[in-house]
């Protein structure tokens, strides 16, 4: 049995300087753990409700004092001084305290802060060396280091005046360990910086640490990344694969029903946009496309899966929002083959695990993910390893809010020693 002595929250800042919730859970054995909640910029309309104060004279309406108060008063008063047999029993009670479908009563940011902090505290109190160890033992999984998806060139909502596509990523797959894979990604990142500098581009970075040059087209971004891979001495298509996060909901014009790619000079329907992706997949070693279509364009997603699903990992982010109901719908329709897991999209540890379990049961790949507004909290690294997600998406190897996750994974790899597992290209064995 585990008893919680106190649950306290404060208002802190994320990587964009916007308020978010930090929570500390203290157990009766004086074990104490803290967690911070991230926030997204390009958010799906079906995500759980992030409670903001909407006071125009304070943080431009983005304050989270109400969410903090819900932790300190409602949640703390209801859930302390009770014996909990498991973390999941506590998490169920936490979710039930809100009682809404989208956590609009207490706020997903309030609930998640408690859920994450409690998970870390339960792990410490159990005698596990870390959260990843606790989760692996609880679920009977083999802890596995994830393949990193490094966002090295930013566009869309994450970097103004860059590209239509929100994220251009590299996936170092042809390596025997996480540390070797990360090293390759870092070297390519720096090679891209060198190339961009030599061409006279600015070297500013976007929210997730990727470079944000003003380019003439989305294809130019892919070509520059291919040059960076070559300059670094790696082989594209075997050691290094490419990935896109299109964030197509941000490109969709609901009035015209068309996707507008301004840098590309195109306004196209779903069928033609899929054709553009096919051309890119044929030309470049792209193994993953995230949110290739609008979040409610189910017919388009089905066509996308039919045309590219045997070649490419088609990741649902805004489409699925880590929600088992939408995962089930997508599986029934055969609309995608992979899920992006963002705990703050659904608002709790247990619901994130449910979505992962259902997706894995469907034969899908799974990707643990950060948000564009992050903190130094590195909990998702432990989730990726303990739940053996296979992949992690946590930005460029730049900005401390991103590097914190990579450094945590390096530490976990060290803790595992000879038992450290890394699947590399095996993660994508169903594609190509």
- Digit-coded pLDDT (tens) for 242-294: 999 999 999 999 999 999 998 888 999 999 999 999 999 999 999 999 999 99
Q: In 85-242, which ranges are continuous DSSP H helix?
A: 87-98, 108-126, 131-139, 178-198, 218-231
Which pLDDT score, from 0 to 100, does residue 157 have? Answer: 66
Q: Which of 104, 126, 148 is the last residue of a domain?
A: 126
342 is catalytic: yes
- Per-residue pLDDT of 313-327, as tens digits, reads 999 999 999 999 999
Same domain, 87 and 215: no
- What is the total count of domains within the chain? 2
| Structural domain includes residue 325 | yes
pTM: 0.96
| Structural domain includes residue 311 | yes
**Cβ within 8 Å of residue 177, ≥6 positions away:** 145, 413, 420, 422
Q: How far apart are CA 43 and CA 253, in angstroms?
A: 16
Same domain, 117 and 257: no
| Structural domain includes residue 104 | yes
- Contact of 285 with 170, CB cutoff 8 Å: no
Q: How far apart are CA 382 and CA 343, in angstroms?
A: 13
- Contact of 166 with 156, CB cutoff 8 Å: yes
Active-site choice (62, 342, 393, 405) = 342
| Structural domain includes residue 133 | no
| Structural domain includes residue 174 | yes
311 is catalytic: no
Q: How far apart are CA 385 and CA 183, in angstroms?
A: 19
The CATH number of the domain where 387 resides is what?
Answer: 3.20.20.120
Round the average pLDDT of the chain to a whole number and report it.
95
Task: Say if residue 158's pLDDT is above 60.
Answer: no
Burial 134-148 (b: 16+ CB within 10 A, else e): bbbebeeeebbbbbb
- Per-residue pLDDT of 72-97, as tens digits, reads 999 999 999 999 999 999 999 999 99
Active-site choice (208, 219, 250, 351) = 208
Same domain, 89 and 153: no
- Contact of 424 with 175, CB cutoff 8 Å: yes
């Amino acid at each position: 049995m585990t008893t919680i002595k106190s649950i306290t929250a404060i208002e802190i800042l994320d990587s964009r300087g916007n308020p978010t919730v930090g929570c500390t859970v203290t157990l009766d054995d004086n074990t104490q753990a803290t967690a911070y909640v991230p926030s997204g910029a390009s958010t799906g309309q079906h995500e759980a409700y992030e409670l903001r104060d909407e006071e125009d004279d304070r943080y431009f309406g983005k304050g989270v004092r109400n969410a903090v108060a819900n932790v300190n008063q409602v949640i703390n008063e209801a859930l302390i001084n009770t014996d909990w047999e498991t973390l999941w029993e506590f998490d169920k009670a936490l979710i039930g305290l809100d009682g809404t479908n989208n956590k609009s009563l207490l706020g997903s940011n309030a609930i998640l802060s408690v859920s994450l902090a409690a998970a870390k505290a339960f792990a410490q109190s159990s005698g596990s060396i870390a959260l990843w160890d606790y989760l692996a033992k609880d679920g009977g999984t083999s802890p596995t280091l994830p393949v990193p998806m490094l966002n090295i060139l930013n566009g869309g909502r994450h970097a103004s005046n860059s590209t239509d596509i929100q994220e251009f990523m590299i996936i170092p797959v042809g390596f025997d360990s996480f540390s070797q894979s990360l090293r390759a990604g870092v070297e390519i990142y720096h090679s891209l910086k060198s190339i961009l500098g030599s061409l006279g581009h600015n070297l500013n970075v976007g929210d997730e640490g990727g470079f944000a040059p003003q380019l003439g087209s989305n294809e130019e971004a892919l070509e520059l990344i291919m040059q960076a891979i070559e300059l670094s001495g790696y082989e594209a298509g075997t050691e290094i694969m490419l990935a896109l996060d299109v964030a197509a909901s941000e490109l969709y014009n609901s009035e015209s029903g068309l996707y507008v790619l301004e840098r590309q000079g195109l306004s196209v329907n779903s069928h033609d946009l899929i054709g553009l992706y096919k051309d890119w997949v044929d030309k470049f070693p792209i193994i993953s496309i995230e949110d290739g279509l609008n979040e409610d364009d189910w017919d388009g997603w089905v066509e996308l899966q039919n045309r590219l699903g045997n070649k490419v990992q088609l990741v649902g982010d805004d489409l699925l929002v880590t929600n088992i109901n939408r995962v089930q719908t997508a599986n029934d329709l055969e609309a995608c083959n992979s899920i992006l897991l963002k705990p703050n999209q659904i608002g709790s540890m247990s619901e994130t695990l449910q979505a992962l379990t259902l997706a894995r049961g469907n034969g899908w790949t799974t990707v643990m993910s950060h948000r564009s507004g992050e903190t130094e909290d590195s909990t998702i690294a432990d989730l990726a390893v303990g739940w053996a997600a296979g992949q992690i998406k946590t930005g460029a190897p730049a900005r401390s809010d991103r590097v914190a996750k990579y450094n945590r994974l390096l530490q976990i790899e060290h803790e595992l020693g000879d038992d450290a597992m890394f699947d590399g290209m095996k993660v994508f064995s169903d594609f190509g």
